[in-house]
A and B are shown apart, each in its own frame.
Chain A
Amino acid sequence: MKTMFRAAAVAAAITVGMAAGAVRAEAPTTLLNVSYDIARELYVQVNEAFGKAWKAKTGQTVEISQSHGGSSRQARAIIEGLQADVVTFNQVLDVQALHDRGKLIPANWQARLPNNSSPYYSLPAFLVRKGNPKGIKDWNDLIRSDVESVFPNPKTSGNARYTYLGAYAYALDRNNSDQAKATEFVKALLARVPVFDTGGRAATTTFVERQIGDVLITFEAEVYGIRREYGEDKFDIVVPSLSILAEFPVSVVDKVVDKRGSRELATAYLNFLYGPEGQDILARNFNRIHDPEVAKRYEAQFPKLRLVTIEEVFGGWEKANKDHFASGGILDRVFVNR
């Protein structure tokens, strides 16, 4: 009964809020952060800390709303009019789409903030069962005949594209940049995958709940959520010797903040992610960060490895898409027996 009353109260509040929404318009103490699907808890923490910091500095109480979903879908929604003040995505191309297809941000958006506008980063890493019974240490262990890997279908999942490119980059590095050998390597890797799910969440279910495979390949940052959900003591994290740098690009959405007059607040919000407090929250949630002071505190959590970028190995996302993932690309050729 109590729930019902509450629900009724909330319904009433929504109605009032809608009426108020029309008048509110130019009071920029609210922000909408449109973000990728698994960052909900992370930005709850960020928003709380930012709210306190902003209040201490200006005396204003800010209210930050969050929207989470697959980042391509989120980008599409913004282009169609979702009033995002800032975006915090996990795919560079999805921020770029805001410029290419909606002219909502300038072409040079990536140069406006440090590190290509990416306040944190991650990399494809391995989640293995407790004690690492198969002794998996690096990419080359994944093509052993006694090891089965689980990751989503690279055709449908951005996460799996990073995995695929990480394996490819590793093989290029090991074989003096021999493309044919690298192609053979990813072919062998894909042959060792028992199930291809369409997305990261489904692949996690396959590995954790259906107990299929010896290793789940996903972003190191995602391992945090998986351990929180399924238990700290069930899995170990293995970081390979080389992996692909996965950027988490952020941007102010110029068209929206200029209309709402929220540019100052939105910019402060993104800068907060680069500050010591923001970096600490990010690192606590298993995202790798750039701030040297904070990074030192989390040294033990982040094993050292060689990180390469999509730009230096594959000539950028666009070229990587064309060479590998487009119809008739390398992925189609090595995927052929599936």
Chain B
Amino acid sequence: MSTRPLHRVPVTGRPAAMLLVGTGMLLAALVLVAPILAIAVNAFGAGVGHYLATVTHPDTLHAIGLTVLTAIVVVPVNIAFGVCAAWAICRFRFPGRKLLIAVIEVPFSVSPVVAGVAYLFVYGDQGLFGDALAAMDVQVMFTVWAIFLVSLFVTSPYVARELIPLMQVQGSEGEEAAISLGASGLRTFLHVTLPNIKWGLLYGAILCNARVMGEFGAVSVVSGNIRGQTNTLPLHIELLYHDYNTAGAFAAATTLAVLAVLTLVVKTTIERRTAALRREAMEDGAA
């Protein structure tokens, strides 16, 4: 997890190494850089005016807002769920533990579209709870709540899957020591467990965030695609594309890319700050 390599081995003059590095660069250029450039080029394909008009259109702004809001709702819930699940699984032995591990993985193996349809079968008007919900006049599907729900489902494994292997490797000695020295459960968690897992937690949260913002399949089934109400950014991009507005679709796509970059910036900033704090702590310790 260190931010910079400790030493660098020069590549020049070593054909095998140069070949490997070159292949890596070429693949990165073709697979990562070219498509991103294509987004940028196409976004401005119909001129800067058209780009700005699309990006500042109320429907696009709403889609951005809804996408961010979904992440704001979903990521914290999944952090809480992931930490609880990982802690329970790694620190306790209980009946059904293996089953819980398997169940956590389910959203990974289920296609998002299937997840969306499954929610329809439960909460839709023709679904399991359809009549009951209608009787209470509660509308879940085709509202933002449905978007939150399926996003939660699709991204629920991310944090837990990051933490479980980490916590298993770390073992429970530190926590046992804290408890035996008289610390409460909460104090142990805050001062021993959390500092140990925070990188994994952060990484899981970032993955979760990226997935929430980009999720298309499940959301498209339950959203109802109401512009200005339940249209998330990925849905909005598809809508513009199908409406013979390719430049607009790409323009909206750049805003999604910007959100991704912002996520990255947040991650790097946190990393830097934490590294600086750690250095200070070490220097204090030395002095």
Contact = CB atoms under 8 A, between A and B. Distances in A.
A82 interface: yes
A26 B55 CA distance: 33
A14 B144 contact: yes
A201 interface: yes
A65 interface: yes
A82 B69 contact: no
A38 B240 CA distance: 9
Interface string A211-225: 000000000000001
B158 interface: no
Given A10-B62, A67-B224, A229 B244 contact: yes
Contact of A14 (B62, B241, B246): B62
A228 B226 CA distance: 24
Interface string B214-251: 00000000001111110000000001011111100000
Interface residues of A, number: 38
Contacts of B126: 79-80, 102
Interface in B131-174: 134, 139, 141-144
Contacts of A322: none
Nearest to B119: A80
B130 interface: yes
B61 A65 contact: no
A79 B127 CA distance: 10
B244 A81 contact: no
Nearest to B125: A81
Nearest to A84: B224
Nearest to A77: B224
B223 to A, nearest CB: 9
B107 interface: no
A69 interface: yes
Contacts of B56: 3, 6
29 contacts: A3-B55, A3-B255, A6-B56, A7-B64, A7-B65, A11-B66, A13-B65, A14-B62, A14-B144, A18-B143, A37-B242, A38-B243, A40-B239, A41-B243, A65-B226, A67-B224, A67-B226, A69-B225, A80-B124, A80-B141, A81-B130, A81-B134, A82-B224, A201-B241, A201-B242, A201-B244, A225-B243, A229-B245, A229-B246
Interface in A93-152: 102
The 8 closest A-B pairs by CB, nearest first: A10-B65, A80-B124, A81-B125, A229-B244, A225-B244, A11-B65, A82-B142, A82-B224
